[in-house]
Each structure stands twice: as structure tokens, then as C-alpha cells.
Chains A and B, each alone.
Chain A
Amino acid sequence: MKTHRNTPPAIAAGVLLASLLLSTPTRAADPAPGGAKAKPTDPEVRTEERAVLTQAPLVPPPITRKHPAKVTVEIEVREVTKRLADGVEYLFWTFGGDVPGSFIRIREGDQVEFHLNNHQGNKMPHNIDLHAVTGPGGGAASSFTAPGHSSQFSFKALNPGLYVYHCATAPVGMHVANGMYGLILVEPKEGLPRVDREYYIMQGDFYTTGRYGEEGLQGFDMNKAIDEKPTYVVFNGSVGALVGDRALTAKVGEKLRFYIGNGGPNLVSSFHVIGEIFDNVYQEGGVVATQHQVQTTLVPAGGSAMVEFTVDVPGTYILVDHSIFRTFNKGALGMLKVEGPPNLIVYSGKEVDATYIGRAAEAGSDAEKRMASLKAQVAQEIKSNPKIAGLNKEIEIEKGKAIYMQTCFVCHMAGGEGIAGQIPPLAKSDFLASLTKEDYIRGVLLGRQGQIVVNGKTYNGIMTPLNYLTDEQIANVLTYVRNSFGNSGEPVTVQEVTRIRAEVPAPPANKFE
């Protein structure tokens, strides 16, 4: 098979980084437990190389060689605290420092020498079970490794396909729930059909002690995990990992292939791209395109799928788990941004593109930085001047923006423009201007429905109650809405939200969580 015509620069950079990391051995190898067994040499193997590893959403380049090789794969297990959502941190257990783990790409017939290094700062022992390995436990027992130690084992890639790998250390569910999964592609001998771009997307469910959006470092909630009631369902390890700046990109006319994995631990994904139809689906990660013209494909926990499609229309396409509350309320949302000459058929998502990218893009990181610097300013200000109301409002707006980008923008859009005919705009809305603070607060707590007229257009939709947000979050998001998109108004205070929450009838607890 042919190589990519144009390797996207991002992929090239990722590859370079991965090979740099690989070429630096990090620890002296301890002798293999019990002494290494003499291994028969594989007569088919003619060359040796190190696997190129990439972090999602990047995929290593296609394999061009026509013969099996001995491939060395080296993965470091790290327990790292990272962002799960804006303001929410989690101690992830990872293969390679990220969730999902590094993408491994090898060829059918390759002889793989696998090194699993368990970082010396880790608390737990870990191992790896590669579904691509034929042999008891998929390598789990041979790779079982205490912190600060490393293991090595070898296998021959007999079966082509897209396979999940995961940690299989007891309690397995917890290791997987903490992010220990990734994909390994065993390319068939004849290669896969040529495409213009490939991406790596992996879904996972997370169980935190705090509810959705609750800020701070969150612990793992065993009961929620056993009950299969995740707090978060996300693509590529965090809410917003594939939006804004980090959205997937493509050009009109290009053929794309997604390698989709589902780490679980519990949920099965109904993977769907809003506004696209998959030309080919390699169901369950097999190497035969078994279906064509597919809207939604099921990706089992501990399983995978490959989908191919050509993008014809520019705009922003939304990646979802079509078990749709997971998208609207738990974070399973990504974006594919397609650029190119405009087409007559303009899809409303395109406005998302125009306003969201660039601004929302930086919402995560920039807003955080800005909040930190504002907080520092406040601390400074408190010292010298008790009048800090103005700065406080700015902080509330920054925090509110983060909530908006997590909760409201899926309907009202990043620039508050709404969706024609379905979702009313919040930008320069005359209806909004006529509302009191109290109306606002009630609207979020109780939801909204019934006919309304906004800027001369009639809407009759349903906005689900968002009462799972805390009083502070509601106050901040409303302060943000009242001071953005050309609106201006006084801040909404936490006390006001608390008071109105006490007045309104309480909807069933956790209904929308």
C-alpha cells in the first residue's frame, strides 16, 4: 500500500516526539525474573525496528514494509493527575501518560518484543492484556510489574485487526475505570485501503466521588462504578478533548478513517457523527468492511470499530455517543472541523465553526490561566483595597464561561446564536432582556418549555432542567450569559440562586445526572 501523500504536520510532530522519547532509555533493566528463556528465532523476521507510538487523536503512519519485522514496543505506565473537565482533576492511571494509551501500529506476522515499565513514582502494580495477543491472558501474567520495575515479553501478531489493550490487574474494573486502555492495530499483510487522514478516538466512562462538574481533585467512586452509573462519559480522556483547538480537522473531499475504541469499563457506545454517514464500517475492529452507509455503529466495551467516510461539506461535525444524555450531560462530545470551498448545502453546524473555533478553543487552557492570574490579582487587591467587587465579577464570568462551554453551548452554541428554528439565541435576545434575574434562575433550575418569541421568531422547544449544577455554577453561568454576546447585566449571586432553589419545587434528585 502507498504512504500518505501529505503527512499532516501534527502527525509528523507526534511521531518525532514519540521516537525521541523512545530513543531515551529511562531505567536500567533488571534481569528478567527467573532468567530469560531462550527464544527460538522467527525465520520470517528480516528486520528490526522500534514501534512509533502516538497519543490520541494521532495515529502512527501506515506500515509500508512488505515483510514481518521484529518490533520493539516500550510503554511506560504512569499515574498522573490531569484535567477531566474544566476545574475537575482526576488521578489517571495511564499507558504512556495519557488516556487513552499510546496507539501501537504493527503488521501481521510481526514479532513484537514488549517492554512494560512501571514508573517508580507509581503506587500500584500494573500489567497489560493485549487483545491482539494469542496466548493465555494476552500477556497479562508475563507483564505484571511492581512500581519501579519493568517486564518484557514477546508475541507474534498472528491476527490482523484493531484490538483493545488494557490493564488486567485486580481489581481490573478499577484499573480500567482509571483510564488504563488503548488501541493496537495489526495491519493486514496487504495493508488497509489508502485514506487521506486517520484519527484515534477512544471512549471511556469515569466514576468520580463528586457529581458532574464538581471542581477539585476527584476520587474514584466504587459504588457508582459497580452500579454502572458514570459521572463522565468522554472521548480521549476528558471533557472537551476533541473540541475547539483540539478538534479533529480535515479538508473537503478527503477520505477519513477513524480508529474507534471503547475502554468502558461499563458502557457500550453508540458512536455517531452528526451530519455524516459512514461509507464503510469494519464492525468490531475486524479487517473486512462489513457494512456500508451506516449512521451509528455500536462499539462494545473492550472492543473497537473502524469507520471510513469522505467529507463533502465544510463545517463542524459533532462526534457523539448517541445514547444522547451522555453527550449532553456527561461529556461525550467531540468535533470534526472540515475546511474547504463552501457548498450550496450549508449545514447549520458551520456557524459553530465560525464562532467556536479559536475562542472556545482556548476556553479550557486560556480561561484557566486567566482565572489564575485574576485570582492572584484579587489576593493582591484584598491586601491593599477592600473594593474587589469588580474583579470578582470577572472571575465569575470566566468560571461561568467554562460552565457554558460544558453545559449550554451544545444547544445555544458557543456564540449564543442558537440553532435556527429550534434553539433560541441568547445573543442580543430581546426576550432575554425582558427577563428578570429570577426568571433566569428558574429557567435553569426547572427547565423551559412552551412557546416563546425571541427577536421576532417563534420557538417551541424543551430545555431540560439543569438543576444538577451547583448554586455557584448557576450563578456564574448566568452572570456570564448576562455579560456576553452583546448582553449586559448585574451579576447573579449564589445567594439568589440558593433562595430560588429553596422556593421552587424540587425535581427528582439526580434525574439528569
Chain B
Amino acid sequence: MLALAAGALGGAEPRPAPGMIRVPAGVHRPLVRSITDAAEVPVAAFDLDVLPVTNARFLEFVLANPRWARSRVKRLFADGAYLARWAGDHELGSNAPPDAPVTDVSWFAAKAYAQWRGARLPTLAEWEYAALASPTGPNGAQDPEFRARLLRWYSTPDDAPGRVGQGTPNYWGVHDLHGLIWEWVSDFNNSLVTGDARGDGGLERDLFCGAGAAGARDPSDFPAFMRYGFRSSLKASYTVHNLGFRCARDPAPTPR
């Protein structure tokens, strides 16, 4: 404890764990917000997985935690399509290559995995801030070529996701934040929609029918709209065939 505190005071923070990269402090500007929300959310420096969690790594987790096996998981924590691509409880099979990102995992499962690894899920602000970076700079928002490339993913038929880490990393050195899968964030459900409070009234309607666009930071940031839209369609037990995750950690490692 003492050593850590001294390290932090001296500014010499421990290096990120293997497979992670340090994203320096910055700010996240939410796409849509109500008048009471801040326009800028400060993001402290954090460590982020360079790659999304793969099938192979998730299998290690399932082997170590049998209650997360496909046939044993509680419906409350993962819906009926949990790990649907896998061949069996402990078998990946040809539809789930070991180096492809794990998908069909619920938020509960992703969170449990992260905890098991001594990490956590990134927050929405952290994820969006990291994903704002293009390959050449920390802010790709004004780069039409970068944005067009992100849009292309939505115009391509959705085949099974390919292997992780194939493209160019972004400015921070992180791979696959775009163009491979959707990713869970820890607070996916308080971007606009609050869990079970989904009804015909309330905040989430702001996302529909253009009302949301009126208060949006940048109504032409289509990829961001898609991510916000996608996240608000989720429940924590949902699994989706193209939704995976990666882990984050505070720079001073949280004790196991």
C-alpha cells in the first residue's frame, strides 16, 4: 500500500499489465445529454485491453468458473443464446475460432470475467474517449475519411466476426474498437435508458424520431448514434451475436 501511494505521489505509476495500454487522461463529450448533464465528462488515465476478449481467453474463464458454462448459466444472468456460437460447454468448435472475439455474452458474464481477471469493464466515457481516436490522432471526429470508414461497417453484411488485431491500431495503440464487434461498457444502461424503466414516456424517447438529434452534440456523428442506440436496446442479461467486450483497469491495480 505504502509503496503504491509513494509511487503515485512521485508520478511513476506502475506499467499497464501485459496486453493493456495506458490511455492518458482526457475528456469525453457525450453525444446526447439532458440539460442537467455536463457537456464534458473528465476521464482519468486508465488501462485498456489492446484487443477484445477472445473465445480462447473466455474459455479459460469458463473452465475456471463452471457456473458460467453454457449449460449451467442462470437465465437471469444470460439469455438463451449465451455462447451460441460455441460447440459445447468447453468446446469452441469451428464457428468460434480461438482468436476471434467472444460474442453472445451477457453484461453479467462480461463483468464476471473482468473481475476474475482483476479488472473491470470500461465505463461508457472511457470507451467512447478511447474510441474517438483515429489511427493518426486522439480525435477522429473531424476526420471525414475516418468517419466514412466507420460507417462502412454498417453497410457490410454481418458475417461472423474475424480475428482480433488484424487492422491498424488507433492513436493510443488500441485495436478493433470499430469495425469488428459491438462492446459492452460497465454503465451501458445509463447513457439514456435506465434498465427496467423503459416505457412509452421518459428519457429514452429522446433517442427516437429526431427528438434526440435536437440535443445532440453532433447530429451527423452517425456511428456514435448507432452505438448509443445499440446500447440502449440492451438488457444486462442479453446476448447478441456481434456483441463482445474488453477489460479496463485503473492505473494503480485494484487488489485481487
Contact = CB atoms under 8 A, between A and B. Distances in A.
A137 interface: yes
A168 B208 contact: yes
Contacts of A223: 144
Interface string B122-148: 000000000000000000000010011
Contact of B209 (A33, A81, A135, A168): A168
A226 B220 contact: yes
A278 to B, nearest CB: 32
A174 B81 contact: no
A135 B200 contact: yes
Contact of A147 (B199, B201, B241): B241
Contacts, number: 121
B157 A81 contact: yes
Given A142-B200, A147-B240, A172 B157 contact: no
A489 interface: no
Contact of A140 (B153, B205, B219): B205
B225 interface: yes
A149 B238 contact: yes
B164 to A, nearest CB: 18
Interface stretch (B3-11, B48-56, B169-177, B228-236): B228-236
Interface stretch (A121-129, A328-336, A413-421): A121-129
A91 B81 contact: no
Interface of A: 28, 30, 33-34, 79, 81, 90-91, 120-125, 127, 129, 135-137, 140-142, 144-149, 168-172, 174, 209, 217-220, 222-223, 226
A148 B201 contact: no
A141 B198 contact: yes
A148 B240 contact: yes
A170 B207 contact: yes
A222 B200 contact: no
Contacts of B72: none
B99 interface: no
Greatest chain B CB density within 10 A among A125, A136, A142, A146 is at A146
Given A144-B208, A171-B229, 11 more contacts: A81-B157, A125-B232, A129-B208, A145-B233, A147-B242, A170-B226, A170-B229, A171-B226, A172-B208, A219-B152, A222-B151
Chain B contact residues: over half helix, strand or loop, or mixed?
A: loop
19 contacts: A33-B235, A81-B157, A91-B155, A123-B153, A123-B158, A123-B242, A135-B200, A136-B201, A136-B205, A142-B200, A146-B234, A148-B81, A148-B240, A169-B208, A172-B213, A218-B155, A219-B151, A222-B147, A226-B220
Contacts of B201: 136
A170 B212 contact: yes
A34 B232 CA distance: 15
A331 B160 CA distance: 34
Q: In the A-B complex, list the 7 residue pairs whose CB atoms are closest, starting with the nearest.
A: A125-B233, A219-B155, A146-B233, A171-B225, A123-B158, A170-B225, A140-B208
B157 A137 contact: no
Contacts of A219: 151-152, 155-156
B204 interface: yes
A141 B208 contact: yes
B81 A120 contact: yes
Chain B interface size, as a band, is: 35 or more
B239 interface: yes
Contacts of B212: 170
Given A91-B155, A148-B239, A222 B222 contact: yes
A145 B232 CA distance: 9
A338 to B, nearest CB: 39
Nearest to A208: B155
B79 interface: yes
Chain A contact residues: over half helix, strand or loop, or mixed?
A: loop
Contacts of A120: 81, 241
Contacts of A226: 220
A30 B80 contact: yes
Nearest to A120: B241
Contact of A220 (B155, B205, B230, B232): B155
Contact of B158 (A34, A121, A174): A121
A222 B82 CA distance: 34
B204 A121 contact: no
Interface in B18-39: none
Contacts of B158: 79, 121-123
Contact of A170 (B196, B213, B220, B241): B213
A166 to B, nearest CB: 10
A79 B157 contact: yes
Nearest to B242: A123
A167 to B, nearest CB: 10
Contact of B222 (A90, A146, A174): A174
Contacts of B156: 91, 217, 219
A206 to B, nearest CB: 12
A137 B226 CA distance: 19
Contacts of B235: 33, 146
B241 A144 contact: no
Contacts of B239: 148
Greatest chain A CB density within 10 A among B156, B233, B238, B240 is at B233
A331 B105 CA distance: 44
B210 interface: yes
B135 to A, nearest CB: 20
